[in-house]
A and B are shown apart, each in its own frame.
Chain A
Amino acid sequence: DTAVSQTPKYLVTQMGNDKSIKCEQNLGHDTMYWYKQDSKKFLKIMFSYNNKELIINETVPNRFSPKSPDKAHLNLHINSLELGDSAVYFCASSSNIQVAGELFFGEGSRLTVL
């Protein structure tokens, strides 16, 4: 069983479209995250949810909207896609934000905007 799974693994779309990436974790963790990895492999935090509540929201365009229907799921919706949104998006989870423990990562979703 995959601990953190995200779908789809690959997304190719045109500028201006709207797309979603889904993430699920079966580890019983309270906290979930979205990270963006650019072409130079740099990882940047985008959002974090703890028990379905938004706790970290970095400077991300409001075209990006996370949604957490329950603590096992954190989805990412992106409106009006731009060329600069092309990247690999990683979902991750950890036991709780109040513990400085490790993050468990999904395999990534590679988004290509044409």
Chain B
Amino acid sequence: GDSVTQMEGPVTLSEEAFLTINCTYTATGYPSLFWYVQYPGEGLQLLLKATKADDKGSNKGFEATYRKETTSFHLEKGSVQVSDSAVYFCALRVINNDMRFGAGTRLTVKP
């Protein structure tokens, strides 16, 4: 079935460090890909998305590129801030189906 695998956390970085969270997927159809962020005590918020191969989603300095050849959608940010501390979820969705999430990666950014 459709599934997402993302790197296990937790990830701890210093402020202004470079962030990469790896995400790979398996899908029977042609999925749309997403990154969601969950701040403590809150629901999930869409961070960025990409709907076809080679699309780059970007938002708030984060970006991810839909790589069909490697079935990947890695999340990157050039310079993280303390306020980026949260749990990040990679997800996929195909037509006529629900959204499937990775296990989540907890990021802590220290000043």
Contacts and interface: CB of A to CB of B under 8 A. Distances in A.
B96 interface: yes
Interface string A24-52: 00000000010000001111010010000
Question: Which label, helix, strand, loop or mixed, suits the secondary structure of the A interface?
Answer: loop
Q: Kindly state the interface size class of chain B when it binds its partner.
A: 20 to 34
Interface stretch (A13-21, A60-68, A99-107): A99-107
B93 A100 contact: yes
Interface residues of A, number: 24
A98 B95 contact: yes
A100 B30 CA distance: 10
Interface of B: 31-32, 34, 38, 42-46, 49, 51, 87, 89, 93-101, 103-104, 106
26 contacts: A33-B98, A33-B99, A40-B103, A41-B38, A42-B101, A42-B103, A43-B44, A43-B101, A45-B98, A45-B99, A48-B98, A90-B43, A92-B99, A94-B99, A97-B96, A98-B96, A100-B31, A100-B32, A101-B93, A102-B49, A103-B46, A103-B93, A103-B99, A105-B44, A106-B43, A108-B42
